[in-house]
Structure 1
């Protein structure tokens, strides 16, 4: 997540970093939904099973770039579980970069922001 934040800032984007809004405590996500919906593009970084990207995809009408992470507990298989979940998402407007590729997500988000 920090790689995406720093890259987005270096590329001249205004960002709003929101943390700790996972699916397991979805009430925390709902509390930040107005901020998320106000963005032109959303980068979702998630580990474990990677469901957060699909959940946000069902709640917003903006492009979403999903970044699976290699860290986390449980059987995440180095990010493969999250990657496969994100790739299989039925949420519209969701694209996926490779595991831990915060740079790629921020670079693509920056392009979208400049359209």
Structure 2
């Protein structure tokens, strides 16, 4: 009977050892998954932070370029106005020149030719 109890005890001991090893293996696997999970969470947080930073940079760039565009459009409008004024001045000077030329031509027609 003692031998039978010893054999059953040994069998239980062997089964227990196998289960303990199995539990250790599962715990190690769980610990590995936890580490992987934490690493992925950290990486995700890092990417979220980077994403927010990039969004801010994009927003700043859009705002800066919008201001530059407005400035350039104002400058274009100013140059268009300046061009219009210059064309009007040129047209006025051309009319004045034409009037002077007409006066000169009329004067030449009325004046007798000189001996030159």
Give the TM-score normalised by structure 1. Answer: 0.13
Larger Rg: 2
Bigger fraction of residues in strand: 1
Q: Compare relative contact order (CA 8 Å, sep 6+) and give the higher one, 1 or 2.
A: 1
Give the TM-score normalised by structure 2. Answer: 0.13
